[in-house]
Chains A and B, each alone.
Chain A
Amino acid sequence: MKLTPKTATLLVLVLLVALSPVLFPSGYYYRVGALIFVNAIAVTGIVILTGYAGQISLGHAGFAGIGAYACALAPVHLGLHPSLALVLGAAISGLLAFLVGRPILRLKGYYLGVATLGFGILVSMVLNNERQLTGGPDGMEVPDLGLRGLLKDAGLDLTNGQFWYFLCGIVLILGAWLALNLFNSPTGRALRALHGSEVAARTVGVDVARLKLQAFVISAVYASVSGSLLALQNKFITPDVAGFMHSIEMVTMAVLGGVGSVLGAIFGAAVLTLLPQVLTVFAEYEQLVLGLVMMLVMIFLPQGLLPSILRKIRGRDE
């Protein structure tokens, strides 16, 4: 039996999430794993926006910020359970993406990049400046999700690291499943079509403005959920989550791994989350080596790490 790419990708993901802990030398690695998954969730959204629809955003950390601060603020001010705060954050992010996306998705290429950049900076400025509400640059505490306690009562006793590792892993698998469903669906096909040629997509009846907006909203929700999980996991949040560097990180992870494929982008998230930890041996030259690695990948493997590697392997088979 031949596996469809969708089933194969999901299978790989499930096995990775379930079996990786066997190799963990210490509990610390659960935390690294959870961080990879959190990043990978946001990057999966970027795959839908950039890989499928061909639209660029340099401001998606803004949505991560909204998701993160929703989990910090809504439980305190609205009395919502943190899990509902995550849902509220996703809804606000989606709505905001809808409102912001309408005018700016008319722009193309660099112009769209700059406009989304402006949006991200705006969110980051609000979070930094509204001290009474957000604590400003010092950040603020985030209430406990409380789910781990419930699991313990039910007889499943996980360490904090294990709990977040598996929770984020499950959310990532869910997110990847949705993105893979979309890829081969009528909507996904229309998104990829407008990526290939906007004018041709229009002539086959694709409402280009509407579809770009859908992709933008969906990817914003991914970023928001990623931000929420980060906040809930760390129990503390600063405006850095909405910062420019975080936006760039998301796009870099997606492009480095291979923005056209869900698995590739997740691979990119893993590499760029792990690399700084590995590169600490270079001490003060860490950033330099990181930049060098990224440049070399883009020069020699322009399709991204995973697609290029897979192509090499397949090429040898044939």
Chain B
Amino acid sequence: MSVLLSVEGLGISFGGLRAVNEVSFTVRPGEITSVIGPNGAGKTTLFNMISGVYRPGSGRVVLDGQDVTGMAPHLLARRGMSRTFQNLQIFQSMTVLENAIAGYHLQERGPVLADLLGLPSSRRRATQAQDGARKLLARVGLDRAAEREAGNLSYGALKRLEIARALALSPKILLLDEPAAGCNAVETEEIDHLIAEVARSGVAILLVEHDMKMVMRISNHIVVLDHGEKIAEGDPASVSRNPAVIAAYLGTDAETGAAHADG
């Protein structure tokens, strides 16, 4: 299958510190690609560069054949990129339904004058978005919480709401930043199923995740980062056997020895 997203030699420095260095990989439609690595490996930074939150210091991001390096997030959204956040970014004081409708912004937006005057065209756009949002909420199992204020939902429910909002854009590629972080086993499994189902529908998924079991279970392809560098890449089986990966996660012999000495 063709490549949807290609990351080419991406790098960024913060105050002289090289946070991400020369990272390259590709993501294909319908596949789940995971980026893993120890804390501080630069996973979220990499994500923020791809999704336009940070402007990369070097390298390129190519989406669907077009160079989108450093493009603003709202323009990337128009090109079919959508994402969730490690620390939830929910519109807290809006209802669950409104949060989901917000995901339809690109479809429902129109002239501000029509919205002020409450013209039929404005109401029609809003109603269409609302219908779509209700279906999406049903898909992530939040339809019964639709009218509740989003701030009152449980953590796991909010995680699903964020995914629903991201799906509202009908993205070609979905970036998920630790979708299962802080969730219990049941919630993790629910999110797990949801992600697999979305991938099956042909959406490319790029995942940053700490939950190793989940990554190994659902990923088609894994990219391993350590200290901002890509140290390994491949299918789950080969990555889990890779000595460099094991060293990065468990510490090298020298470090392990030092830790023991300290203990």
Could you tell me which A residues sit within 8 Å of B by CB distance?
Answer: 177-178, 181-182, 184-190, 192-193, 195-197, 199-208, 214, 218, 260
Contact = CB atoms under 8 A, between A and B. Distances in A.
B231 to A, nearest CB: 29
A260 B149 CA distance: 15
Contacts of A205: 74, 77-78, 105-106, 169
A177 B115 CA distance: 11
B51 interface: yes
Contacts, number: 110
Given A185-B115, A193-B102, A200-B90, 11 more contacts: A181-B118, A182-B115, A186-B115, A189-B105, A190-B109, A193-B91, A193-B94, A199-B89, A200-B85, A203-B74, A204-B106
A204 B115 contact: no
A204 B105 contact: yes
Contacts of A177: 118
B166 interface: yes
B93 A192 contact: yes
B185 interface: no
A123 to B, nearest CB: 25
Contacts of A214: 112
Contacts of B76: 203
A199 B82 CA distance: 12
A182 B125 CA distance: 13
A193 B108 CA distance: 14
A2 to B, nearest CB: 13
B110 interface: yes
Contact of B53 (A185, A186, A199, A218): A199
A218 B116 contact: yes
Question: Which of B51, B94, B102 has most A Cβ within 10 Å?
Answer: B102
B77 A186 contact: no
A257 to B, nearest CB: 17
Question: Which of A188, A189, A200, A203 has most B Cβ within 10 Å?
Answer: A203
Contact of B92 (A188, A196, A206): A196
A189 B101 contact: yes
B72 interface: yes
